[in-house]
Amino acid sequence: MKPSSGENVIYYNGIRYSSINNLDKIGSMHGVKRVVVFCIMTTVLPALLIITPLYLRHVVFADVPYALTESDVVEIKNGISSIFCAAHSLQMNVTFNAIQLDKAPIISDQRKHVRLRKTMSLPDDTLEYWGFYLLKGATVNLKVCSRYDGARILVVRGEKNLRTCGLMERNVSKFGAKMDREYKQVKFTFESAEGRERYVSTKFPIIDGGEITDDNDLQNIHNDSETELHLSVSDNIRKEELQRELLADDDEEMINRVKRDIGHLLDTKIEHGGNAINFTDSSSDESSASSFETSLLNCYNGQILLTEAFPPSHLCTGINYLENGERMETIHSIVSDGYYYYIFYSDNDEEVNDIYGIFDIHKPTLLVPTNSETKTCNNITECIFPMRFWRDETVIVEVPMKEGIVYQQNDTILISTCQPRMSVYIIFPVAIMVLILGCAFI
């Protein structure tokens, strides 16, 4: 519709006018905004670029100590990065072996044999234990005998440091023990060298006087559970002399050690402890024996793989008797990595019980590639592995045993050091200069 000739029409056009003198200030920062940006670029960001590499070098990728002992096999990866580390340095005050792999280690079918001959003297209501870290595929063969009545063995699956639950203070609370879910897989056999008469049982006494009985056919024990533990008669194994005793190692000593910061433990030393070594006799009531065993079973409630007594023999006076005399023998096949403890204790108010045992341990070994790119260090105290940029490389360290025997010695410290890659760290100071130059364009 067109407006009539008599109407006034007014049109508005919104235009912003600016002075010609202010044209250079349009779109630029000024005032408080400009001051804030300037402070960030000259103070905050440069400070971050200075603190970040220092934090990475001295905190994230600082030297990492590892407490190792003979027979330890450890994957070293904490505090190491192929981006920020040009080389991986290892140093220890005893000789060790190391290898650098392009990928994660592979467990081979070959086994390493370790034999331990142990002698224990256990007063009433005392214990002594031997702990092993075992990988899948390992086996532990144990022959054991006692001179007097009351000797018992308890096999449990536990943690790195075996908890005591106040057993050293002789806890007197009474509870029944809950067996591990794999207790029905246990069969134990006693062998006599003369008549070879075998007594097979699947009963496991518990504190309240009841018993757990296996009603299933013991010939068909095959499943995917974590551990299979059974006892049987096997061939005699050749004799080897153990040259020194293992280090007595209890929970309090472990607390004061250098913290073991290990990414993946492949093999470690044998743990040894108990309260029979420094035992001092003290008065107790008639229920002390039962209360000690009650507390022991209750402490490892749900982790017990085997609890059983073994018959005494007055001929059990030394290790040699285990080769020819009556004995109980266990074969422990491991299908899951973990810590396993063999706890020996005595319930004899009259005699200090002598217990003799032979451990034959067959441990899996690592499959080492033989290609030309594999780098190794053998029988040295210091080793340096160059690291390629952005590559997932693994370093394995082994502290070898002398002639296959574990010697008595304290833990030694392995120092793992990341040698900085300067081509990466130089980025930070260069970025600071770029920021400062950028301030000229604010």
What 3-state DSSP class applies to 66?
Answer: strand
> pLDDT value at position 255?
35
pLDDT recorded at residue 4 = 59
Query: Do 166 and 84 reside in the same domain of the chain?
Result: no
In a domain, 15, yes or no: no
- Residues of the chain with confidence (pLDDT) below 70: 1-30, 168-290, 325, 370-372, 402-411
Nearest to 292 by CA among 161, 177, 131, 180: 177
Whether residue 321 is found in the same domain as residue 239: yes
What pLDDT was estimated at residue 87? Answer: 96
Phi, psi (deg, nearest 5) at residue 93: -85, 0
275 and 288 inside one domain: yes
Has residue 130 been placed in a domain?
A: yes
Same domain assignment for residues 340 and 382: no
- Residue 413: the pLDDT is 92
Tokens of 221: 């024990």
- Do 386 and 241 have their domain in common? no
* Cβ contacts of 209 within 8 Å, gap of 6 or more: none
Looking at residue 7, its pLDDT comes to 61
258 and 150 within one domain: yes
Classify 125 in phi/psi space as left (phi over 0), alpha (psi -120 to 50) or beta: left
Does any domain span residue 167?
yes
Task: Give yes or no: residues 90 and 196 share one domain.
Answer: no
Using a cut of 0.85, tell me whether the model's pTM lies above it. no
Please answer whether residues 5 and 418 qualify as being in contact, where contact means their C-beta atoms are separated by less than 8 angstroms.
no
Give the pLDDT confidence score for residue 158 in this predicted structure.
84
How confident is the model at residue 160, as a pLDDT?
Answer: 77
Task: Identify whether residues 381 and 308 lie together within a single domain.
Answer: no
Q: φ, ψ for residue 369 (rounded to 5)? A: -65, 150
Residue 51 lies in a domain: no
**Residue 160 falls within a domain, yes or no?**
yes
Give a yes or no: residue 409 inside a domain: no
Model confidence over 173-207: pLDDT tens digits? 433 455 554 444 344 445 554 444 333 333 333 32
- Residue 98 and residue 246 in one domain: no
Place of tokens 């009474």: 174
316/231 same-domain check? yes
Kindly list the distances between the CA atom of residue 432 and the CA atoms of 39, 49, 55, 439, in Å, as whole numbers in the listed order: 13, 7, 17, 11
**C-beta of residue 298 within 8 angstroms of C-beta of residue 179:** no
Name, in order, each residue with C-beta under 8 angstroms of 254's C-beta and a sequence gap of 6 or more. Answer: 161
Q: Which pLDDT value is given to residue 343?
A: 92
Q: Is residue 429 part of a domain?
A: no
* 23 within domain boundaries: no
* Strands 73-76, 264-267: pairing kind: antiparallel
Are residues 191 and 288 both part of a single domain? Answer: yes
* DSSP codes of every residue in 332-373: EEE-S-EEEEEEEEE--SSSPEEEEEEEEEEEEEEE---STT
Per-residue burial over 227-245, b = 16 or more CB atoms within 10 Å of its CB, e = otherwise: bbbbbeeeeeeeebebeee
Nearest to 87 by CA among 392, 417, 424: 417
Q: Which domain does 79 fall in, by range?
A: 63-104+373-400+414-420
- The set of residues, in sequence order, having a beta carbon less than 8 Å from that of 411 and lying 6+ positions away, is 67, 68, 69, 257, 258
Residues 275 and 396 in one domain: no
Structural domains counted in the chain: 2
